[in-house]
């Protein structure tokens, strides 16, 4: 095992994991820009490409708990290294494969697995273990902001790559960038072997069973489904929705997605800070209620470039702000020994929602010629998630003779 004699500093972990998250989330958020050029080049409907992204999100969730288990047991470094190579392979696959079935299955599995190894679930464990309990919510907020910065940074870069060098060459360039940047950063995420022995002496099976019997954990899982549904539907289908409504200037969609990333840097960081002072369940409920209201107002207001920008900024403030709060609730209730694995379980629910949201968007557009029904479902689910999070009990579990590490 690649280990060091002492744990890395929190600053080192946040910087290294921040760059990994910036690329992992930034590249992934830009996949919507490839929908139309790939579909046109291969003669596919939007449903085919939407299905590919839906499978990516579902596989991200399926592999998430296992990537988390591996990170908790063998260290984050190894998991990120494997994920970087899978990410490169997935991007090359998307550039080369023209058979619809192979495209959906191959890119779905490779990119989904890569994201499970390089995004929030796998990285949350090392952050939770290195940070003190007092720093933890803030540190999760920093990591959330890094993912958001990736979206802000990479949106215009990816759009320019496609327009200047073509959609295939853009995939090749991103594949090289992912490997060359992620692999060196992984070596700064080494943990000492004894780090994994801290906390309650539970097996993986016992920790998982304990969580699945916990009402608050199940409520968190249910709420996170809605988060995934809303975000991936908007992130993938917003550019096409705007074009359908007459905003043919592609820069509007690029600017909107970049604004979501920019404002979510603020939102994720502030959510992490507030989570250290206020009940996280109330903050989570507020986020979902605000999302439902923001979507409703966006649909009711006259559509223009500025209404899109205002909507993007509002959504950006609450885009990934659920991540530090959700991870904070998990760490607070169960401790950090199995943090990555439990975060992966919750994130599986998020990705089931993502799968349904992105696929349903393409399916309903193909059948009805509009996204109106999916927008309405997003609003209803937001209200439901706001209510679901209210009764969560954030207090640490009391096990036989010991308090849960928190």
The answer to the question of residue 280 being in a domain is: yes
pLDDT of the chain, 406 residues: tens digit per residue: 344 556 678 888 889 988 998 899 889 878 878 888 898 888 888 778 888 888 887 888 889 888 888 888 888 899 999 999 999 999 999 999 999 999 999 988 999 999 999 987 788 778 878 888 778 778 888 877 777 787 678 878 888 899 899 999 999 999 999 999 999 999 998 876 544 444 456 677 888 888 889 999 999 999 999 999 998 898 888 888 888 888 877 788 888 877 887 898 888 888 888 888 889 999 999 999 999 999 999 999 999 999 999 999 999 999 888 888 988 898 888 887 777 788 888 888 988 898 888 888 888 888 888 899 999 999 999 999 999 999 999 888 876 655 443 3
CB 195, CB 340: distance < 8 Å: no
Chain centre to alpha carbon of residue 358: 14
CA separation for the pair 400, 72 (Å, rounded): 23
Residue 1 located in a structural domain:
no
**Helices 167-186 & 10-29, crossing angle to 10 degrees?**
170
pTM: 0.76
Query: What is the rounded CA–CA span in Å between residue 51 and residue 265?
Result: 29
Closest CA to 65 of 310, 308, 352: 352
Residue 4 lies in a domain: no
Domain membership flag for residue 232: yes
Q: Which own/partner contact pairs does 221-224 have at CB distance under 8 Å and 24+ positions apart?
A: 221/345, 221/346, 221/349, 222/349, 222/385, 222/388, 223/284, 223/288, 223/385, 223/388, 223/389, 224/322, 224/326, 224/346, 224/347, 224/349, 224/350, 224/353
Residue 27 lies inside a defined structural domain of this protein: yes
Q: Strand 398-399 to strand 402-403: parallel, antiparallel, or no bridges (unpaired)?
A: antiparallel
- What's the half-sphere exposure (Cβ side, CA atoms, 13 Å) at 19? 19
Phi/psi class of residue 295: alpha, beta or left (left: φ > 0; alpha: ψ in -120 to 50)?
alpha
Q: In which region does residue 322 sit, left (phi positive, over 0), alpha (psi from -120 to 50) or beta (all else)?
A: alpha
Do 115 and 60 touch, CB atoms closer than 8 A? yes
Question: Is 197 inside a domain boundary?
Answer: no
Residues written for the chain:
406
* DSSP secondary structure letters along 227-268: HHHHHHHHHHHHHHHHHHTT---HHHHHHHHHHHHHHHHHHH
Give the separation between CA 122 and CA 115, rounded to whole angstroms: 9
Q: Token digits for 56?
A: 């990516």
CATH assignment at residue 167: 1.20.1250.20
Q: Return the residue matching tokens 């309650």.
A: 200
Task: Output the CA–CA distances (angstroms, integers) from residue 174 to 25, 32, 88, 170, 235, in the order listed.
Answer: 12, 15, 8, 6, 19
Residue 233 lies in a domain: yes
The structural domain count of the chain equals: 1
Query: Residue 3 falls within a domain, yes or no?
Result: no
Q: Tell me the C-alpha distance between 39 and 396, whole Å.
A: 49
Closest CA to 257 of 376, 111, 375, 159: 159
398 phi and psi angles, rounded to 5 deg: -105, 110
3-state secondary structure of 5: coil
Domain containing residue 36: 10-191+203-399
Q: What is the pLDDT of residue 298?
A: 95
């Amino acid at each position: 095992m690649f280990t060091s004699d002492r744990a890395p500093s929190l600053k080192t972990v946040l910087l290294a994991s921040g760059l990994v998250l910036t690329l992992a989330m930034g590249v992934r958020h830009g996949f919507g820009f490839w929908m139309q050029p790939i579909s046109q080049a291969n003669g596919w409907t939007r449903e085919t490409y939407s299905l590919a992204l839906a499978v990516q999100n579902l596989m991200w969730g399926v592999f998430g708990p296992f990537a988390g288990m591996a990170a908790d047991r063998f260290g984050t470094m190894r998991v990120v290294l494997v994920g970087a190579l899978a990410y490169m392979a997935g991007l090359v696959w998307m550039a080369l494969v023209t058979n619809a079935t192979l495209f959906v299955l191959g890119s779905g599995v490779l990119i989904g697995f890569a994201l499970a190894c390089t995004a929030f679930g796998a990285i949350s464990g090392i952050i939770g273990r290195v940070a003190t309990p007092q720093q933890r919510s803030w540190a999760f907020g920093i990591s959330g902001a890094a993912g958001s910065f990736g979206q802000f940074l990479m949106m215009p870069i990816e759009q320019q790559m496609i327009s200047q060098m073509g959609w295939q060459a853009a995939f090749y360039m991103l594949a090289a960038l992912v490997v060359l940047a992620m692999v060196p950063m992984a070596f700064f995420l080494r943990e000492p072997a004894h780090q994994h022995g801290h906390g309650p002496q539970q097996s993986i099976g016992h920790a998982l069973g304990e969580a699945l019997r916990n009402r608050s954990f199940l409520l968190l899982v249910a709420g996170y489904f809605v988060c995934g549904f809303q975000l991936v539907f908007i992130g993938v289908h917003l550019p096409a929705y705007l074009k359908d409504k007459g905003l043919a200037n592609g820069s509007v969609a690029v600017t909107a997605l970049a604004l979501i990333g920019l404002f979510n840097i603020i939102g994720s960081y502030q959510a992490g800070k507030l989570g250290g002072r206020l009940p996280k369940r109330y903050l989570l409920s507020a986020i979902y209620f605000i999302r439902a209201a923001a979507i409703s107002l966006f649909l009711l207001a006259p559509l223009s470039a500025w209404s899109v920008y205002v909507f993007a900024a509002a959504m950006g403030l609450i885009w990934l702000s659920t991540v530090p709060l959700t991870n904070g609730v998990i760490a607070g209730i169960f401790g950090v020994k199995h943090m990555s694995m439990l975060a992966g379980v919750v994130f599986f629910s998020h990705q089931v929602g993502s799968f349904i949201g992105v696929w349903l968007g393409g399916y309903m557009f193909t059948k009805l010629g509009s996204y109106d029904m999916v927008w309405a479902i997003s609003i209803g689910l937001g209200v439901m998630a706001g209510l679901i999070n209210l009764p969560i009990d954030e207090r640490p579990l009391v096990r036989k003779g010991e308090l849960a590490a928190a």
